[in-house]
Amino acid sequence: MLFLYVFLIIVAVVLIVPLFISKELNYEKSILIDAPSTKVWENVSTLAAMDKWSPWNERDPHMERSLTGVDGSVGATQHWKSDAKNVGEGRQTIVALDPPEQLKTKLEFLKPFKSQADAYIKLDEGNEGTITTWGFESQMPYPMNMMKLFMNFEKNMDKDFGSGLQKLKAICEQKKH
């Protein structure tokens, strides 16, 4: 009988606690790039350009990719498939372009877990260069949102986004010979 009570308490906690935890999962990271926004835009405005600095491409250089639509325009979609851990399968679709200030995409992860996110890259040119912000907005379904209590999503994302933005910075700041 005690086992039944313990089991019911555990189930209740797993089902009740997530009711009080936000489902929102938002993240963004910025970097200052010593280049005009038009130069940065060249390196963020197409799916092929983003592949050159994406931190996830290093995890599986043999990842299968396919593109539909006209890259650099609304509706262009890149599908990827990989057996590598933390790469999985999914697609990214360009949903809005505001050159040279903002690109918005829809991310759909299919494997290892299904989820969606609205991603963006914003460029803000100033006297020192271009502040480049890469981020996303998503929702964690109930009761999976309870994972937010045990995982530091920001720390996990910071490493990948930081690496990608550093590569983008290096590409944009290269001087032509």
Mean pLDDT value of segment 105-112: 94
Per-residue pLDDT of 129-174, as tens digits, reads 999 999 999 888 777 777 777 777 788 889 999 999 999 999 999 9
Per-residue pLDDT of 51-107, as tens digits, reads 999 998 888 888 999 999 999 999 999 999 998 878 899 999 999 999 999 999 999
Q: How many domains does one find in the chain? A: 1
pLDDT of residue 135: 97
What length does the chain have? 177
5 token code pair: 């009570």
How close are the terminal C-alpha atoms of the chain, in Å?
78
37 has pLDDT over 50? yes
Count of CA atoms in the C-beta half-sphere (13 A) of 42: 8
Nearest to 19 by CA among 136, 145, 153, 133: 145
Residue range of the domain that includes 27: 2-173
pLDDT of residue 110: 93
Confidence of residue 42 (pLDDT cuts 50, 70, 90): very high
In this predicted structure, which of 7-11, 32-36, 74-78, 113-117 has the lowest mean pLDDT? 7-11
Say how far apart CA 10 and CA 3 lie, in whole Å.
Answer: 11
pLDDT of residue 177: 38
- What CATH number does the domain containing 51 carry? 3.30.530.20
109 has pLDDT over 50? yes
6 token code pair: 């313990």
